[in-house]
Amino acid sequence: MRRESRQIMVGNVPVGGDAPITVQTMTNTPTEDAVATIDQIRRCEDAGADLIRVSCPTAESTESFSKIVKAARVPLVADIHFHYKRALEAADAGAACLRINPGNIGSDERVAEVVRAAKANGCAIRIGVNAGSLERDLLEKYGEPCPEALIESALDHIKLLQDHDFHEYKVAVKASDVFLAVAAYHGLAEAVDCPLHLGITEAGGLLGGTVKSSIGIGSLLWAGIGDTIRVSLSAEPEQEVKVGFEILKALGLRTRGVRVVSCPSCSRQGFDVIRTVETLEKRLEHIKTPMSLSVLGCVVNGPGEARETDIGITGGGNGKHMVYLSGLTDHQVQSDDMLDHIVELVEKKAAQIEAGEETAFDPHAVVAE
């Protein structure tokens, strides 16, 4: 069961409560280069990003940010670290959310100014606690980054906002250590009712970072904790979005695009499964409609898996392979025509679903009949 949290709005995107778990990422282009940043944002939007964070460390970057906001199709989060004026400028420039640590931006009056700007512009605030940048007094108190230190830091920052009657905030307590981050999130989830932003920070490259993030974020989501996620990878931002959706799809929390079920391949395969899946995943990236596709190399487990997906194919002999539609055997296709044929079937099925002429296949409904 999902943890109960109050809902806030980040632009027009609800976060928390019963809203869908959102997927976000962060640009890595110089914000001063509006064209490059907008191009990167567009790729992330096409991948499905619900929210995108953009760094605003300088006056020049917040000036450019105003142009970027106008071009973006999704709400943007302005990433602010130490200078409170950047937060004021970003709020005025159209940020839907400010990512700050209130305790890092100076006096109580400066915090009050940021809160006034956020309220005046309808901005949410994301408090971002990180094990790598904990306050000195907490490190002296606890001796090292630990769940208790992360939670105390988050609560201290929350109090600064609450003291100014500001409640439209979400909180993250990130660490690169999976166990540290997970423990901190569990503790924070019991202490507050605000939405929680999940992430395993500095997780690593595409492969290693995906594994770490899937374990950390996945275990928290499985426990019902989390309202919005960012997979932090040393990879292009759109890859973070794709991995984020794959985590949500694997847990049955959200669907977007084609969910591919495929075998690891073996000597029984009737076609090159590995290369076929690689090609299909690339050629079907444009499909946003939730649906399932099974690609199985032989007839041992293939028919059983194919009966559980919208479209399926199993390898056969003599270059002929069986195609399944809505869980039922339908027709055969030759190896040379297989890829184009499967892409055509998926596109047709997606169009029918989008037009309301058909729904995604429910294998349990077939069994019930």
- Residue 128 bridge partners (DSSP): 172
pLDDT for res 364: 56
Q: Which two tokens stand for residue 20?
A: 């869908």
- One-letter identity of residue 274: I
- Does pLDDT of 366 surpass 60? no
Delimit the domains of the chain by residue range.
8-250, 258-368
Say if strands 13-15 and 8-10 run parallel, antiparallel, or are unpaired: antiparallel
pTM (predicted TM-score): 0.91
pLDDT for res 120: 98
Per-residue pLDDT reduced to its tens digit, 169-197: 999 999 999 999 999 999 999 999 999 99
Instruction: Give ∠ CA 7-11-13 in degrees, rounded to 5.
Output: 55
Long-range contacts for 119-124 (Cβ within 8 Å, ≥24 apart)? 119/166, 120/91, 121/91, 121/92, 121/94, 121/95, 122/9, 122/96, 123/91, 123/95, 123/96, 123/97, 123/98, 123/168, 124/8, 124/9, 124/10, 124/15, 124/96, 124/97, 124/98, 124/168, 124/169, 124/170
- Does pLDDT of 339 surpass 60? yes
- Does pLDDT of 368 surpass 60? no
Per-residue pLDDT reduced to its tens digit, 141-166: 999 999 999 999 999 999 999 999 99
Cα atoms found within 13 Å of the Cα of residue 207, Cβ hemisphere only: 0
Query: Domain spanning 258-368: which superfamily?
Result: Sulfite Reductase Hemoprotein, domain 1 (3.30.413.10)
Per-residue pLDDT reduced to its tens digit, 308-322: 999 999 998 888 999
Q: Is 128 helix (H, G, I), strand (E, B) or coil?
A: strand
8-250 classified as CATH 1.10.1060.10: no
How would residue 365 be classed by pLDDT, with cut points 50, 70 and 90?
low
Largest alpha-carbon pair distance within the chain? 77
Task: For the chain, give the mean pLDDT.
Answer: 93
